[in-house]
Amino acid sequence: MNMKTIALAGALTLCVAVGMSGCGQPRGVKGDENGPSPLTEAEIRLIEGADSVMYVLDVADPEDSVILRAASQDFRDKDLQGEVFKTLAAKMLATVNAPEQGGVGIAAPQVGINRRLIVVQRLDKAGEPFEIYPNVRLDSLYGDLVKGREGCLSVPPFRGLVPRWTKAIVSYKDPETLETRRDTIAGFTAVIFQHEVDHLDGVLYIDRADSVFVDEDWKRERVSFDSLGRYKKPAILRESRDF
Ligand SMILES: [Zn+2]
Q: How many Å lie between the centroid of ligand 1 and the Cα of residue 76?
A: 24
Q: Residue 227: which pLDDT band, with cuts at 50, 70 and 90?
A: low
pLDDT category of residue 17 using cuts at 50, 70 and 90: very low
What is this structure's pTM?
Answer: 0.86
Q: Ligand 1 mean position to 1 CA, how many Å? A: 4
According to the model, what pLDDT value does residue 8 have? 47
DSSP annotation string for the chain: -BTHHHHHHTT-EE-----PPP-PPPPPPTTSTTSPPPPPHHHHHHHHHS-SSPPPP-TTSHHHHHHHTSPPBPPPHHHHTSHHHHHHHHHHHHHHH-TTT-BSEEEGGGGT--BSEEEEE-TTSTT--EEEEET-EEEEEEEEEEEEEEE-TTSTTEEEEEEEEEEEEEEEE-TTT--EEEEEEETHHHHHHHHHHHHHTT--HHHH-SEEEE-HHHHHHHHHHHHTT--PPPGGGGS----
Residue 239: per-residue pLDDT:
76
Q: Which of 128, 196, 216, 221 is the catalytic position?
A: 196
Query: Domains along the chain?
Result: 4-14+40-229 (3.90.45.10)
- Confidence band of 100 (pLDDT split at 50, 70, 90): confident
